[in-house]
Structure 1
Amino acid sequence: MVNDYDLDFYVWTQRQSALLRSREWEKLDWDNLAKEIESMGKQERRELKNRLCVLVGSLLKWKYQPEQCCASWEATIAVQQDDIQDLLSENSSLKPFLEEAFLSGYKKGRLLAIAETNLLPSTFPNEPPFDLDYTLTGDL
């Protein structure tokens, strides 16, 4: 059976929200609700990894291409640090996942820095040249 979930996700969300508010439990699309709630949690983890990737890439460019440093890099670093802190404040259960996300973010951020600087890959170490604490709070 095709339902709103398959046809128009927005309509489905509005209907499920109304059903929850009116406590019409028997009409809820439980399977898809569960799937979407799980997806929301995964989205927060993905956002953390993505923000760390952008942050690390910018820190690497700052460190290994100092002659190109500019205000936009500095702003990107500051915004990503602030947004990561906000994300962790709003989702404290992500903190145990932080080190793993940092290492994943470093790998991708390194690739980003290589692509954006045209420096040799060997310029950027395979292991982070800075720790997680510096990444999240360090001044330039």
Structure 2
Amino acid sequence: MSANYKSDFNLWIEQTAQLLRSHRWHEIDVEHLIEEVESLGKSERLFIASQLTRLLLHLLKWQYQPQRRSDSWLDSITDSRTQIELAILDSPSLKSYPTEQFEESYQRARRQAGKQRGILVSVFPKECPYSLELVLDEDWLLEASNI
């Protein structure tokens, strides 16, 4: 069974699912199954952190480059909020994860914003100027008067 895991992952998944349905426990590649189950949790956390970074990146660009605001930035902000909300609805145990990742995500967003815009990262505050509650609030968006 482990040869399929390395040579044809999709086939391994199908066979493992069939073995589980058939209660053929002794034939299951337990080591790789445990590895894959654990990676599912890591993948969900990585997804939330990635969406949070993307959200913060576009909020920074929205605030610091109002002349370049676009519908695509607004779409990205809206989509990131939605994706984070859906991930947490699907896995409520991850509700605190955005709080845990907030500072790291902000620092990544800050660096990315600097690189993308070709400006010094020091232009952006060292600490996030927005609260997590506002960042995730679907009704909140910086307006030019807030800058």
TM-score range, shorter chain: over 0.9
Whether 1:4 and 2:4 are equivalent positions in the alignment is: yes
Instruction: Write the mapping of 1:10-89 to structure 2, written as runs, cut at 5 A.
Output: 10-89=10-89
Amino acid at match of 2:37: I
| Unaligned segments of structure 1, at least 5 residues | none
Q: What is the CA-CA distance between 1:119 and the residue it aligns to? A: 2.2
What is the CA deviation profile of residues 21-67 of structure 1, one whole-angstrom value per residue up to 9, with x for unaligned ones? 11100100001000100000010000000001110000000011111
Amino acid at match of 1:108: R
| Unaligned segments of structure 2, at least 5 residues | 142-147
Q: What is the CA-CA distance between 1:97 and the residue it aligns to? A: 2.2
Give the aligned partner of residue 135 of structure 1.
135
Q: What is the CA-CA distance between 1:115 and the residue it aligns to? A: 1.3
Amino acid at match of 1:88: I
Q: What is the CA-CA distance between 1:133 and the residue it aligns to? A: 0.5
Partner Cα separation in structure 1 for residue 98 and residue 76 of structure 2: 20
Which moved further from structure 2: 99-108 or 46-55?
99-108
Give the aligned partner of residue 122 of structure 2.
122
Q: What is the CA-CA distance between 1:116 and the residue it aligns to? A: 1.4
- The number of residues matched between the two structures is 140
For normalisation by structure 1, the TM-score amounts to: 0.95
Partner Cα separation in structure 2 for residue 2 and residue 136 of structure 1: 42
Which moved further from structure 2: 101-110 or 41-50?
101-110
SS at 2:95 equivalent = helix
Partner Cα separation in structure 1 for residue 50 and residue 5 of structure 2: 28
Identity across the alignment (%): 35
Q: What is the CA-CA distance between 1:120 and the residue it aligns to? A: 2.0
Q: What is the CA-CA distance between 1:98 and the residue it aligns to? A: 2.1
Which contiguous aligned blocks of 4+ residues in structure 1 show a shift greater than 6 angstroms?
A: none
Q: What is the CA-CA distance between 1:2 and the residue it aligns to? A: 5.4
What RMSD over aligned residues (CA atoms) do the two structures have, in Å?
1.3
Partner Cα separation in structure 1 for residue 105 and residue 121 of structure 2: 16
